[in-house]
Amino acid sequence: MKDTIALYDLIKLVRYGDILLVRNPNILGTVIKWFQELQGDEAIYTHAAIISDSPPHIYEAAETLKEETLHKYIDYDICLIRHNLMTFDRYEKAVINVIRPHLGDIYPFHRLILHAVDNSVNWILRKIGVKCRLKTAKWVSYNMAVCSEWVDMFYHDIGLVDEWRGHNPDDIHDRALAHPENWRIIYEGKLI
Ligand SMILES: [Ca+2]
Ligand SMILES: [Ca+2]
């Protein structure tokens, strides 16, 4: 049976700077999941956010980059990921450099299309045995980012992630699984 956690308990568990991944079952989430899975592995999560230093608040890029609360994700499948080297100083620096100047920025929906084109073309390239990959989402950024790119821009600013462009929510999940020396999965299951 799937693990569940009450909001009250999750609030006690989270820490500033933690990454929250969310499985969004709506149409946009289903489409994002489908495109992510063209990379060849299962993609459970379709949205990403950062836990603030005053939980239940989070920072996320939805319609705009904004502050929200965890209440929004009651009844959703979530995954909470922590970097072993996150400190309050690092968290505060990234909030000042990456979050605060961009609060209210409009979500660049056109970049979702770039991600979708990349994943589709790369699926075909893989099928026909071509090794090179299209990375338009990586190089055409215009300094705008989708939800998971914001999260990795946050971590990039404090030196904990090398690159943020082109990263989708499942990349963040895959990375945590592949690098337990850096990342810890604190909780995975349903928020109730
Ligand atoms: Ca995956
Ligand atoms: Ca993947």
Which residues partner with 47 through β-bridges? 22
Q: How far is the CA of 179 from the centre of ligand 2 (A)?
A: 14
- The domain spans of the chain are 4-191
190 C-alpha to ligand 1 centroid (Å): 18
Instruction: Give 100-157 pLDDT, tens digit per residue.
Output: 998 988 767 667 777 777 888 888 888 888 777 777 666 555 456 778 989 999 999 9
Query: The tokens of 145 are what?
Result: 């980012």
| 172 vs 71: CA distance, rounded Å | 22
Q: What is the pLDDT of residue 133?
A: 75
pLDDT value for 138: 64
Q: Which top CATH class is 4-191?
A: alpha beta
Give per-residue pLDDT as tens, 67-90. 999 999 999 999 999 999 999 999
Give pLDDT, residue 127: 85
Better pLDDT: 63 or 180: 180
CA of 182 to the centre of ligand 2 (A): 18
CA of 40 to the centre of ligand 2 (A): 7
- The position carrying tokens 């922590």 is 82
The pLDDT of residue 119 is: 82
Q: For 40, list phi and psi in degrees, rounded to 5.
A: 105, 0
Considering every ligand atom, which ligand is closest to the CA of 37?
2
Percent of the chain with pLDDT over 70: 93
List, as one string, the DSSP characters of 107-173.
P-HHHHHHHHHHHHHHHHHHHTT------HHHH--TT---HHHHHHHHHHHTTS-S--TT--HHHHH
